[in-house]
């Protein structure tokens, strides 16, 4: 079984990246894992032209199909996102917008293989869980439109830098133990 862990942050070396590393390490005995960072790919914003509504393809030629091939490879997808003004980072939102060809709200639409499981981890610097819940809702909404079954989530508060991840190791390990295909 294959697990894709996505760093939804443009920062490749911060707390989000550290959580991605830990999740990959925790899952590696049970899954073949791949980790990607959304900022490692080049893609533009959705133009709103709706040509994908009739063709199931985007007119832009960039890395979105490359990312979607990673989704296709995976049986389990774990999205790890920090809070940027109480929601997902703009780079990840731009990716989601560009996935309209795979959105199940219009026909024809492209699709990823059935049976995929999605999981979300949200982190924020403040003490309240409300922002984490909003991030998780954004990720789950996206997965729902790709027909990826949402199977679990974890919110982590008071995480600003890598050093802040260590106190949450038991929570992260417990969450990883709940991940299955």
CATH architecture of the domain with range 2-178: 3-Layer(aba) Sandwich (3.40)
CA distance 180 to 75: 9
Q: Tell me what the mean pLDDT of segment 125-141 comes to.
A: 97
Residue 86 backbone class (left: φ over 0; alpha: ψ -120 to 50; beta: rest): left
What is the distance between the alpha carbons of residues 41 and 146, in angstroms, rounded to a whole number?
A: 20
Residues 180 and 45: their CA atoms lie apart, in Å, by 33
The reported pLDDT for the residue numbered 106 is 87
* Joined tokens for residue 57: 């393809």
Q: Is the pLDDT of residue 14 over 90?
A: yes
Predicted confidence band of residue 128 (pLDDT cuts 50, 70, 90): very high
- At residue 181, the pLDDT reads 83
Looking at residues 11-39, what average pLDDT do you find? 97
Enumerate the domain spans of the chain.
Answer: 2-178
Rounded to the nearest 5 percent, the helix, strand and coil shares of the chain are 40, 20, 40
Residue 112: is its pLDDT beyond 90?
Answer: yes
Q: What pLDDT was estimated at residue 45?
A: 97
State pTM to two decimals.
0.96
């Amino acid at each position: 079984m294959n697990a894709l862990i996505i760093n939804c942050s443009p920062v490749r070396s911060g707390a989000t990246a550290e959580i991605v590393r830990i999740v990959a390490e925790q899952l590696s005995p049970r899954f073949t894992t791949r980790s990607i960072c959304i900022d490692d790919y080049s893609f533009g914003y959705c133009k709103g032209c709706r040509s994908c509504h009739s063709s199931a393809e985007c007119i832009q030629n960039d890395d979105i199909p490359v990312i979607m091939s990673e989704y296709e490879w995976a049986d389990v997808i774990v999205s790890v996102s920090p809070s940027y003004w109480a929601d997902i980072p703009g780079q990840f939102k731009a990716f989601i917008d560009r996935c309209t060809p795979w959105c199940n709200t219009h026909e024809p639409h492209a699709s990823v293989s059935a049976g995929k499981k999605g999981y979300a981890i949200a982190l924020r610097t403040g003490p309240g869980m409300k922002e984490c819940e909003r991030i998780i809702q954004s990720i789950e909404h996206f997965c729902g439109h790709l027909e990826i079954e949402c199977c679990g989530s974890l919110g982590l508060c008071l995480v600003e830098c890598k050093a802040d991840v260590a106190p949450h190791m038991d929570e992260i390990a417990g969450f990883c133990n709940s991940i299955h295909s």
